[in-house]
Structure 1
Amino acid sequence: MKLLIVEDEPELLHSLEEFASKEDFMYDSAAGYQSAMERISLYDYDCIILDINLPDGNGFDLLKILHHEGKTDGVIILSARHSLDDKLKGLELGADDYLTKPFYFSELNARIKAIIRRKQFKTSNVVRFANLVIDPDQYLAGIDDLKKPISLTKKEYAILAHLVSNHKRVITKVALAEYIWGDYVDEAQSFDFLFSQIRNLKRKLKKAGAQVEIHNIYGVGYQIKSI
């Protein structure tokens, strides 16, 4: 799962990045309004950790942009403000949750996972697609209630979860690469790195007896279907 961390306080930003790495979240970081706006316009995120007070803008304005562009990214506001008016304003503008500083990272982690379940998997702790089961809390995938776990790398799991949560539509190569690798995609000369991950993932799903297939939609991207 992928986060965008928007925080201008260097020490807290670093702590949030360490937290994301420890919890095996992929993430991008932005220390200000402009850099956050650029990432929001370019990429989709499962959850945005959003500070209200930014040196070059306001977190509330970023919420307005998300709404205007029809984005469905989950949003947790982090703020030192304890004002009820600020909390209500954030929620009215589309934020999913509001956490005041200081906070416990364990609580932040629980709230992120709750939002991801609501956004992607419709509140269920696990998602089932054919005989494939995905547990977003434990980053596990397997067959038949996880009785037969599939050994996946971090990126293979992220690709599989993203395809399953969007199984009704085709995900373009560019969109999938940007979701998994973010800004690093701009430096890539080809999509060989993505093709390699997809190839390995297909092999592992087949070996595990998953009743799903990742279809290559020629010239466009990928879609996962039950078989």
Structure 2
Amino acid sequence: MNILVIEDELSLQETIRESLEKENFHVETANAFDEAINKVSFFDYDCILLDIMLPGGSGLNILRHLRSIEKGDNVIIISAKDSVHDKITGLDLGADDYLTKPFHLAELNARVKSLLRRRSFGRKNTVSFQNIHVDMDNFSASIDETPLTLNRKEFDILVYFILNKNRIVSKPSLAEKVWGDYMEDADDYDFIYSQIKNLRKKLRDGGAKIRIQPVYGMGYRLEAL
């Protein structure tokens, strides 16, 4: 996945780049308006992180340009400007999300992943498998239209399994996707077992027509019953 970070504060730009590269994204950067216009005009990106205040011009005009060349999808505004007017203008011009500085990198990474996940479903924010329905915008899940009560980690695990249904999901991969890249050095993954145990029980008790099957020595696989 290719991400363009348009940010003139070089220390923040570098911090964002390093964080996203740890998530295995390919990251390019632009420091000013003209450089950003050239890059978005000639190259395609899966996600653009866009500051509004830039040397040489406004990020809002970059949004207008993106819309004019039909590349306005998958833009997250990152800006210190926190007025309702700026947010509304940015969203009206086609931005998908708006994150106000200062922000935690974990939240930025989560917003990027959520946007890319929606993109993989044709910008639909729901996904289903068998009698399970998941609404990723509202962080809700249901079994045959009956609400399924999940904590946030259980929800994220379920979404990741559905996105990878019928595939073997390793514990390290699951830990990295749900808990973040700092999990790559974890000594063990007992915390995953307890979350999956609770999720499996809730799915079983709710009558879900799916199961999370352990694969010895490898991880887990989500299957239809």
- Could you report, residue by residue, the CA deviation over 1:90-131 in whole angstroms, capped at 9, with x for unpaired residues? 987xx8434666542894666866753332x34444322101
Q: 1:226 to 1:122 in 2, by over 3 A?
A: farther
Gaps of 5+ in 2: 53-58, 99-110
CA distance in 1, matches of 2:206, 2:13: 44
- Give the Cα separation in 2 of the matches to 1:155 and 1:173: 14
Alpha-carbon contact 1:132-1:210 (below 8 Å) kept = yes
Contact conserved, 2:6 with 2:48, CA < 8 A, in 1?
Answer: no
**What is the count of residue pairs matched by the alignment?**
184
Amino acid at match of 1:180: V
Residues 158 and 78 (structure 1), Cα distance of their counterparts in 2 relative to 1, 3 Å cut: same
C-alpha contact (below 8 Å) 2:170/2:219 kept by paired residues? yes
Asked if the contact 2:213/2:222 (under 8 Å) is kept, the reply is: yes
The match for 2:31 is 53
SS of 2:221 mapped into structure 1? strand
164-173 vs 203-212, which moves further: 164-173
Give the Cα–Cα distance (whole angstroms) in 1 for the partners of residues 63 and 152 of structure 2.
39
Aligned to 1:39: 19
Counterparts of 1:80-99 in structure 2 under 5 Å? 80=52, 81=59, 82-83=61-62, 87=66, 96-98=73-75
Q: Percent identity?
A: 29
Larger RCO, structures 1/2 (Cα 8 Å, 6+ apart): 1
Q: CA deviation at 1:180?
A: 1.1
- Unpaired stretches in structure 1, ≥5 consecutive residues: 11-29, 68-73
Using the size of structure 1 for normalisation, the TM-score is 0.61
Do the aligned residues in 2 keep the contact of 1:53 with 1:79 (CA within 8 Å)? no
Shift, 1:77, TM fit: 2.7
Please report the TM-score for the alignment, with normalisation by the length of structure 2: 0.62
RMSD value over aligned CA atoms? 4.3
**Alpha-carbon distance in structure 2 between the residues aligned to 1:165 and 1:205:** 17
SS at match of 2:205: helix
State how far apart, in whole Å, the 2-side matches of 1:178 and 1:201 are.
18
